[in-house]
A and B are shown apart, each in its own frame.
Chain A
Amino acid sequence: MTGPSVRPDAVTTRSPQPMDRLIDRRSFLARTAALAAVTTTGAVVLPAIAYAGAQPARSGDAGPYRPPRPEALADITELTIAEAAWLIRARRLKPELLVEAYLDRIAAFEATYQAFNLVAADAALAAARQLADRRHLGPLHGIPLAIKDNYYTAGLRTTANSFLFQDFVPPFDATSVARLRAGGAIVLGKTQMGPLATTRATTPNGIVTTVNAWAPTEPAIDPGGSSTGTGTAVAGRLATSGTGTQTGGSITSPSNAQNLTGLKPTMGRVSLYGIVPLSYTRDHPGPLARDALDAAIMLGAMAAPDPADPRTQGLPPVPDLVTAATAVSGQGRIRLRWPTRIGVIPGYASGTSASARARQEFLATLAAIPGATLVDVPLPDEWDLLTGGAFNNVRLPERSEPFMPYLRTDLRGFGVSVTGWLQGALLGADEFLTGQRAKLLLLERVLDTVFDRCDVVVQTSPVPFDIIGLPELALPIGFTPAGLPIGTILGGQPYGEDRLLSIAAAYQAVTDWHLRRPANPPGDAPPLTTVDGRPPYRRSLAAAMSRAPDPGRGRFTADQVAAVMQ
């Protein structure tokens, strides 16, 4: 790897401040302190949290369109969203051809990958044909997506990989699916996931299904969960991008395991309406993508206030994520869009393992980018306690309460996942409230101890920021000697997705980890589809999808699920 240099898609533009600079963190802390000091004798006047920015301008810099790389022209399943959008807007690529190319790969490799629960081939092709004749709707126009199977899709079965929903056909789209479709995206299929979003993808009775696209013949290698199918579909070039949900690492983990860029936004950025709940204060919908720009395009479409979800209302406006995810240069070198202090927590890069060495190189690469400053930051008091097992378990009643009708009538319908739902039903209200108070304490400490010293912070686990709803971005930073991806996670301040994307964009402008793709699984590969056309190929999607669960891939017991569930 060489030092920072300019990639062709970098542009030179100065930008306004990132969203985390437009939220007055100090006034938040002052107000929190005032709240804590309130006595029963009277009220206090609270300082307001000030959003200091103007409404962010839309579209800037190069926008969401990029000329495709030669290797992507030679195999259109390799295109990023931004590249495919460039071709589609220029009418050099028909969405139908892109869908056909993915269907070919699904037919060829789905029996091995087992990334999908359902492939909506006919509907996807019909949508692609319709889109060919419509005015251009934006960067998602004609882009085939893999949708996690806990997002409602009108008229398409939505199972959450559970016996409880095996015949559920929603009458409407989840808000975020509707927004993606309104932007021209095509729902290619519904992806495998951990049962009810608990673990890596398995059948409801625990048999491992989806494999890691980087080790398709080794089911024991973790593909990351629970948005496993989306991760494998995007990594294995069965779809251009996709959606996941994260309650305890389920976007960042499959992204890290499969060389993708995943973005878990701040709680409330994306509506949860129409998504099967797991833990409703911690379920974060977001994209799994091939690079930072694609993640920005996806999140930009998904994020908006939703009248059906009050958590999305009253928030700062969604900033221009595409511009944030566009690398900038100055004097011939890539630089950070905004000067950024990158916090490094104790032990993050310690040791000699492949992961430790990759983290050391990651930090060194970041430090070499103008505008980046590495700073050591301490962990807040009681970090292990407040982010550990018991306080993490405070989420469990949130899964029991909405499922009470099922718990009363169909315990076996929960399959191997039932234990967590019963645990939630046992947690008392006193303990639940203590946990909710501790969330605010943890947030205060993170803001005061960590973000007083830095703007973003590296993570060793996604769970702490899942507990308090802060944004996280996962990105590739290397490979093990065995050729498996190594990723890492950056955490940000509330609504700081733009800052996270800006760092990932700069890092990806000077590295090429994110451009590497896994080899095809064994077996006959379909001929490559180029922008000029698709060679003849006989495919049988039905054969690829009609598979029996294979216990030889491994099987989770209920106790194992309870130990690792998100």
Chain B
Amino acid sequence: MAPTPPTDAELDILIRARLAAVGIDLDQLPAGTVPDPVTGSPGRDSVVASLRSFLRGTVATLSTYRLPAPAGTDPAHEAALSQQRAPMLYPSISTAWRES
């Protein structure tokens, strides 16, 4: 059974905790939703709202995507047989690097 989707409040905690865990303190930004008049940097509430949307959109889409199994794979054993493509930071360059 799929877990219950996180609430806004739960995502806010996740966002702040994740960023704090790598040393990023959102309190550097102005409180509320009003941008800093000098730098234009957004209020922290605005940023958190944007980041919630990012988690629900981009992260969810990527994490649920399943790369296709090789053609002819027996569906009954697809998960076991599926050898995924290599992660490729530089796909175009790899066409030459695989020459050697």
Shortest beta-carbon distance from A391 to chain B in Å: 7
Contact pattern, A 283-325, Cβ under 8 Å of B = 1, otherwise 0: 0000000000000000000000000000100111000000000
Shortest beta-carbon distance from B68 to chain A in Å: 7
Contact pattern, B 60-100, Cβ under 8 Å of A = 1, otherwise 0: 01110101101000000000010111111111111111111
Shortest beta-carbon distance from A547 to chain B in Å: 18
Closest to A163 in B: B39
- Looking at the complex, which one of B39, B58, B84, B87 makes contact with A393 (CB distance below 8 Å)? B58
The answer, yes or no, to whether A532 is at the interface (CB within 8 Å) is: no
- Looking at the complex, which one of B58, B65, B96, B100 makes contact with A494 (CB distance below 8 Å)? B96
Pairwise interchain contact A267-B42, C-beta atoms closer than 8 A: no
The answer, yes or no, to whether B59 is at the interface (CB within 8 Å) is: yes
Shortest beta-carbon distance from B66 to chain A in Å: 9
In angstroms, Cα B61 to Cα A338, docked, is 42
The answer, yes or no, to whether A15 is at the interface (CB within 8 Å) is: no
Pairwise interchain contact B35-A558, C-beta atoms closer than 8 A: yes
In angstroms, Cα B29 to Cα A276, docked, is 24
Shortest beta-carbon distance from B5 to chain A in Å: 17
User: Which chain B residues lie closer than 8 Å to A416 at the CB level?
Assistant: 35, 39-42
The answer, yes or no, to whether A38 is at the interface (CB within 8 Å) is: yes
Shortest beta-carbon distance from B91 to chain A in Å: 4
Shortest beta-carbon distance from A136 to chain B in Å: 33
User: Which chain A residues lie closer than 8 Å to B96 at the CB level?
Assistant: 23, 49, 51, 268, 314-316, 494-495
The answer, yes or no, to whether B38 is at the interface (CB within 8 Å) is: yes
- Looking at the complex, which one of A390, A443, A494, A559 makes contact with B50 (CB distance below 8 Å)? A559
Q: A37-B83, A407-B24, A426-B19 are known contacts. Are A439 and B88 too (CB-CB below 8 A)?
A: yes
The answer, yes or no, to whether A35 is at the interface (CB within 8 Å) is: yes
The answer, yes or no, to whether A414 is at the interface (CB within 8 Å) is: yes
Shortest beta-carbon distance from B27 to chain A in Å: 9
Contact pattern, A 413-434, Cβ under 8 Å of B = 1, otherwise 0: 1111011001101111011011
Pairwise interchain contact A408-B93, C-beta atoms closer than 8 A: no
The answer, yes or no, to whether B3 is at the interface (CB within 8 Å) is: no
Q: Chain A: interface secondary structure? A: helix
Pairwise interchain contact B86-A412, C-beta atoms closer than 8 A: no
In angstroms, Cα B36 to Cα A416, docked, is 9
In angstroms, Cα B99 to Cα A50, docked, is 6
The answer, yes or no, to whether A562 is at the interface (CB within 8 Å) is: yes
Closest to A38 in B: B83
Sample of 30 A–B contacts (CB below 8 Å): A35-B86, A37-B70, A49-B96, A51-B96, A268-B96, A314-B96, A385-B65, A393-B62, A404-B22, A411-B25, A411-B26, A411-B29, A411-B41, A412-B28, A412-B29, A412-B38, A423-B51, A426-B51, A431-B58, A431-B63, A434-B63, A437-B84, A437-B85, A439-B88, A441-B67, A442-B91, A443-B88, A444-B85, A468-B92, A469-B93
Apart from A408-B24, A439-B88, what 15 extra A-B contacts exist at CB < 8 Å?
A205-B41, A206-B40, A311-B90, A314-B96, A393-B54, A408-B25, A411-B25, A412-B38, A415-B40, A415-B41, A426-B19, A427-B62, A437-B85, A440-B85, A559-B42
Top 9 closest pairs, chain A to chain B, by CB: A205-B40, A469-B92, A436-B87, A390-B61, A558-B42, A431-B62, A49-B99, A411-B28, A440-B88
